[in-house]
Chains A and B, each alone.
Chain A
Amino acid sequence: MADLAFWMIVLLTIGGAAVVVLNKNLVYSAIALLFTFFGMAGLYVFLWADFLAGVQVMIYVGGILVLIIFGVMLTNRITSVNISHSSVQRGIGAVVVLGILSILVIMIYNTPWLQVEAVEPVQTVGKIGYLLMMDYLLPFEVASLLLLAALMGAAMLSRKSN
């Protein structure tokens, strides 16, 4: 059962991703991306990352994807039903990407990854919170500055004229 669910999620993720990059209609792509993000969240759950699964759904689906759909809408007239976006250099692109993929696959197969047995934690939030306040306090603080910069920049750029 878990297997089936897992593979379904995998299919959802990868299939969604494939649609994202292959579909001609931008709106469809955006919606396919939604499925991918959800799939990712599912996979996170399988990876015992409950907190991150939540974050994934909240930020990616709730934030980024909405942002993207807004983008799609703002940059195309709503009335045009078929917001097509063609692709370029698909042939050579496919070749190159397949090259990358095969290299990655070879790499994954041949590498003796560091593997340590572990038990599933009840929840990860506490651990993450601790780390953020201790070991990764600085990045945590710095991230605020990053967001500040992004905020300023986005605001500045979208402001009407000067």
Chain B
Amino acid sequence: MDNLNTYLFIAAILFSLGMFGVITRRNAIAVLMGIELILNSANLNFLAFAKFGGMNMSGHIFALFVIIMAAAEAAVALAIIINIYNNFKSINVDEVRELRQ
């Protein structure tokens, strides 16, 4: 249980699930959730490597900044999504198709 690969596998699965969400969900907010999963999986990696790499605190710092960044990004993304909703009355990604020739 407590070895590096376990965590890495968990992270990989989360990453893949996040990917899957991003690729398949039609709702922009759901896509955003997928992205959060991806970021979390990376964080898990960082922390796992930090622990098994001899308590390397750089990983912690990295994870910290990722979390900060994720918050900022989520804020902006949601602002955009809500703005879109106000304009399109839909936030299905594939229906936002003004830009098609």
Contacts and interface: CB of A to CB of B under 8 A. Distances in A.
Nearest to A146: B72
Given A49-B50, A118-B54, A147 B68 contact: yes
Interface string A103-122: 01100110001111111010
Contacts of B78: 67-68, 70-71, 154
Contacts of B49: 113-114
Interface residues of A, number: 83
B10 A68 contact: no
A33 B19 CA distance: 15
Nearest to B94: A88
Contact of A48 (B20, B21, B55, B74): B55
Q: How large is the interface on B (under 10, 10 to 19, 20 to 34, 35 or more residues)?
A: 35 or more
Given A21-B37, A71-B82, A100 B53 contact: no
Prevailing SS type, chain A contact patch: helix
Nearest to A119: B55
Contacts of A109: 5
A33 B34 CA distance: 9
Interface of A: 2-3, 6-7, 10, 13-14, 17-18, 20-21, 26, 29-30, 33, 36-37, 40, 43-44, 46-49, 51-52, 55-56, 59-60, 63-64, 67-68, 70-72, 74-75, 85-90, 93-94, 96-98, 100-101, 104-105, 108-109, 113-119, 121, 124, 127-128, 131-132, 135-136, 139, 143, 146-147, 149-151, 153-155, 157-158
Given A49-B50, A49-B63, A101-B16, 13 more contacts: A7-B1, A20-B17, A21-B34, A47-B50, A55-B67, A59-B67, A88-B24, A89-B23, A100-B15, A101-B12, A113-B8, A128-B60, A143-B68
